[in-house]
Amino acid sequence: MRSRINVDHFRTDDNSLVESILEKASLERDVILENRKSDFLSKIKSNVETEEYQSFLSQMFEEHGEKGDRVNLQFYRTGELSFESLVGKLADEVEQETMTDGGDSRYSSLITDYETHDGQVVDIQFRLSDEPSDLELTEDGYVEDVDGDRVDISELGLEDYEKVVKTNKYSVEVRAYTDAGLIAVSNSKASTTLQKALRQSLRKWGDADAGNEGFLLKETELLLMQNLMDGDNSGLDFGGFLDKNLKTAKYRGDRNETLSRSPVLSPAREQGTITQARFYHMYDDGTGPRPVQVRVYHDGHISSSKPTKPDFVDTVTEHFLTVFKYRDYIQPLDELISEFIDDRFRDELYSGEDSYRSNKMQAFGSLVDQYINSNSFDESERPVFEATFANIGIELSQLDLTSDEYPEVEEASDRPEKETDLKEFFENYSDYVLKSTQPDFDNLWMHLEYVINRQSHDSPIDIIETAIEEYALRE
């Protein structure tokens, strides 16, 4: 709550709430003027009854608190942080400190406030500045101004020169999830290099472990985020096209439209990858549920169309962790095919790669139609289910499914509609990628269908967890 009250509201003259609590705490007003918010509130808290302190904060929040903001955050993976080390550093830090992005750039930082939650989460407010000496020349001798435009300093008059080289100051808020090894940075005007410096400093202060994987989300991971948030898709952005002349494609639609099967969308889906997912999420801030449009980008950026409270960011973080935990089981089907398709057609005169890829993707799509209730997921999420079937099938194909350590499965209740294509996919993957014996498809299919039918599946996570539990697969 206190993090949503700007420190200036405590320092305003003639604030009766502040004057009253200071009198009860036997403290002078200088305590508020000369200390950081976290420090003077701690002094007040230790000098009054708990109920009085909570009542004071509640009244301050009602009068001056920020009731929620539109989310505009950049998530980063830092590796697991030490909560104690990070908080200890923040408590000791009262002077400006130099930060680095790992290169030659230097920035000064001042921690204006911090707040801890549940021994795992730390909210930090920074005031950052970069100095004129931090300006980096491009290879052709230019610098970039705050708008990203190239400027030749030698041609500027004094007034324009001072605008370019002046010290820039930024206020940045960070929420650090120490156990999870994630930080969320408010997406202010701070440059990418400045945010990198911030991330590097937090890693150092929190004694981060070696784990620091990238945050690029694959299209199935973006769609799984939508699925986990019970989202109704309203748009997709595509990039990474096979045709290098194509850069981006964007599709927008009403929540009730089915974008995934649109004939307009099909070329982009077949030739590119999803780089952003937009969807409506029913968010309840305590006053009742309301639709909020959420935008999740492949680089870990997330934004919302309406104000939310900190619990929304906590929910997003939990879902990111779920995605990271199970990402090996949702590798995109198109990527799996790409692992072997060149070898598969190397010695053939006629290149049937496009037809092969299309047939295999249709085969797994038919499994979604055949086994997953269409009312339990958004149509745009089909690629996640397709990828889940393929990845679990690959895992099962490497097991001795006749062993009594695995479930004893009866005959399959049904056969897949495009059995020939599915059989060829698993055989080719075993041949060219795993370099192993081709699986007995009849036996493999019985066990894969067993996993799919084990329970009602509203999410690919249900299917993955069933396979892990029943077949002792790696998490």
| Lookup result for tokens 């692992």 | 339
pLDDT in tens, 436-449: 999 999 999 999 99
- Is the per-residue pLDDT at 195 higher than 90? no
What pLDDT sits at residue 373? Answer: 86
Taking phi over 0 as left and psi of -120 to 50 as alpha, with beta for the rest, 68 belongs to: left
* Residue 241, both tokens: 């096209």
Tell me how crowded residue 46 is: count the other CB atoms within 10 A of its CB: 9
pLDDT in tens, 128-147: 776 555 455 555 555 555 55
Determine the Cα–Cα distance for residues 81 and 128; give it in Å rounded to an integer. 22
Burial class of 92 by CB neighbour count within 10 A (0 to 12, 13 to 18, 19+) = exposed
* Residue 167, both tokens: 């010290």
Mean local confidence (pLDDT), 338-348: 92
* Residue 375, both tokens: 């009312």
Percentage of the chain with pLDDT > 70?
A: 80
- What confidence category does residue 191 fall into, taking pLDDT thresholds of 50, 70 and 90? confident
212's CB contacts (< 8 A; 6+ apart) are 77, 78, 79, 181, 203
pLDDT in tens, 102-130: 554 455 667 888 889 999 999 998 887 76
- Residue scoring higher pLDDT (98 or 455): 455
Mean local confidence (pLDDT), 196-201: 85
- Amino acid residing at 87: V
What pLDDT sits at residue 227? Answer: 95
As a whole number, the mean pLDDT across the chain is: 84
pLDDT in tens, 383-393: 999 999 999 99
DSSP secondary structure code for residue 247 in this structure:
-
Determine the Cα–Cα distance for residues 4 and 60; give it in Å rounded to an integer. 10
What pLDDT sits at residue 36? Answer: 84
- Is the per-residue pLDDT at 330 higher than 70? yes
pLDDT in tens, 21-78: 999 999 999 999 888 888 899 899 999 998 899 889 888 877 877 656 788 899 999 9
- What confidence category does residue 319 fall into, taking pLDDT thresholds of 50, 70 and 90? very high
Would you say how long the chain is, in residues? Answer: 475
Which ranges of 246-329 does DSSP label H, i.e. alpha helix? 266-271, 310-326
What pLDDT sits at residue 168? Answer: 65
- Is the per-residue pLDDT at 364 higher than 60? yes
Min mean pLDDT across 260-274, 397-411, 440-454 is at: 260-274
pLDDT in tens, 417-470: 999 999 999 999 999 999 999 999 999 999 999 999 987 777 899 999 999 999
What pLDDT sits at residue 186? Answer: 87
- Residue scoring higher pLDDT (325 or 259): 325
Determine the Cα–Cα distance for residues 26 and 363; give it in Å rounded to an integer. 75
What pLDDT sits at residue 94? Answer: 53
Q: For residue 303, give the H/E element and its range.
A: strand 301-308
- Is the per-residue pLDDT at 215 higher than 90? no
Determine the Cα–Cα distance for residues 253 and 235; give it in Å rounded to an integer. 6
Tell me how crowded residue 360 is: count the other CB atoms within 10 A of its CB: 23
When mean pLDDT is compared over 66-80, 223-237, 263-277, the highest value belongs to: 223-237
Domains of the chain are: 2-64 (no CATH), 69-131+167-205 (3.30.160), 219-324 (no CATH), 334-471 (no CATH)
